[in-house]
Amino acid sequence: MKDLLASSLIVVPAYNEEGSLPALLAEIRALFPDTDLLVINDCSEDRTAEVARQAGAMILDLPCNLGVGGAMQACFRMAWERGYQYVIRCDGDGQHPPDQIPKLIEGMQKNAVDLVLGSRFLGEESYRSTAIRSAGIRCLALMLSAICRARVTDPTSGFQMLNRPLLYCFAHSYPTDYPEPESLALMRRQGYTFCEVPTRFRARTAGRSSIRSWDTGYYALKVWLALLVDRARNVDPRYARRNVVKV
């Protein structure tokens, strides 16, 4: 656990999160003092970058807004180049409590998978959301489970930990907007494995979600289309799991 933490990178993608970032970064620092901490500022309009720098985190300051997918891919590339073994993502809005990260690590060690997903819906602890949104998520989960041939309960969760082979794959191709469900389908197709662990989520502490109510329709449409099109795409042998064993 200790060397694992020393060779991993905790990533906090942030867009206009100056309100919630200081507390979150302090919490992560206190829990994992030996792990490198990176904040990706997706071209925020507020003082996100400044706040992160004051907290002593490394920062990737994107010159234009790329969305979660583009921002995460920047981090994957950087982590790949610097030789990190694991990347742990923990969103800047404070929805992913850092004290749940050990659960992800445990899942990664126990199951020997490429990606561990923190799920809101797996445990007995319930998560409150609007009726439409949770119905949409359930629908998506069903479809994704069928595509991945593995049980997915929380396909939109960004609370995840991935290892170096998958890092290599994602550094080269990662979906742009709303990447979480699509990236699961993509990685399964390339032969990577994942598992879910039950985690507790928090209500966001400040700021607001980047997925607003009128975006939900676009979100659903985009994700479904992407999932269907991905099925028709060929497996890229350069990034397939069997070819990325030794990296």
Partner 1 sequence: MLTLPRLLIASASGFLVCTGLLSFINRRSGRFLALVWIALGTGIALAALKPEVFGDSAPGTYVVRIRLVMGLLSFAVLMITLETVRRLAMQERYAILWVSTGLSLVVLAVYPNMVGWLSTITGMTYISAIMVVVFAFLLLVSFHFSLALSHLREDQKRLAQRTAIVELRVRELEQKLRDSEAGRQTSGNTSRNT
Instruction: Please give the helix or strand (H or E) that residue 41 lies within, else none.
Output: strand 36-41
Element spanning 10, H or E: strand 8-14
Per CB under 8 A, does 64 bind partner 1? yes
Told to check if 232 binds partner 1 by CB under 8 A, we report no
Binder among 50, 61, 215, 230 for partner 1 (CB under 8 A): 61
With residue 170 as reference, give the H or E element that holds it.
helix 164-172
For partner 1, the closer CB: 10 or 117: 10
Closest approach of Cβ 131 to partner 1, in Å?
A: 35
Name the token pair of 22. Answer: 């200081």
d(CA 191, CA 198): 24
Label residues 146-155 b or e (16+ Cβ within 10 Å = b): ebbeeebbbb
In the Cβ-directed half-sphere of 243, how many Cα atoms lie within 13 Å? 9
Cβ 183 vs Cβ 174: under 8 Å: yes
Restricting to residues 80-109, which ones interact with partner 1 according to CB under 8 A? 81
> Least distance from C-beta 69 to partner 1, angstroms?
9
**Applying CB under 8 A, does 226 fall inside the site for partner 1?**
no
Q: Which residue has the tokens 């009128």?
A: 214
Alpha-carbon span 113 to 86, nearest angstrom = 12
Name which position in 59, 143, 152, 167 contacts partner 1 (CB under 8 A).
59
β-strand pairing of 115-119 with 160-163: antiparallel
Please say which residue, 81 or 124, places its beta carbon nearer to partner 1. Answer: 81
The footprint of partner 1 on this chain (CB under 8 A) covers a number of residues equal to: 16
Task: State which residue, 63 or 237, has the beta carbon closest to partner 1.
Answer: 63
Burial of residue 210 (number of CB atoms within 10 Å: 0-12, 13-18, 19+): middle
Residue from 9, 74, 140, 185 touching partner 1 (CB under 8 A): that is 74
Residue 184 Cβ, how far from partner 1 at the closest point, in Å?
A: 21
Within residues 160-189, the interface with partner 1 by CB under 8 A covers 176
Q: Rounded distance, CA 141 to CA 2, Å? A: 34
Asked if 230 is part of the footprint of partner 1 (rule: CB under 8 A), the reply reads no
Nearer residue to partner 1 within complex by CB, 33 or 63: 63
- Whichever of 73 and 157 has its CB closer to partner 1, that residue is 73
Residue of 66, 148, 185, 223 that binds partner 1 (CB under 8 A):
66
Which of 73, 153, 157, 160 touches partner 1 by CB under 8 A?
A: 73
What does the binding site for partner 1 look like in residue numbers (CB under 8 A)?
40, 58-64, 66, 70, 73-74, 77-78, 81, 176
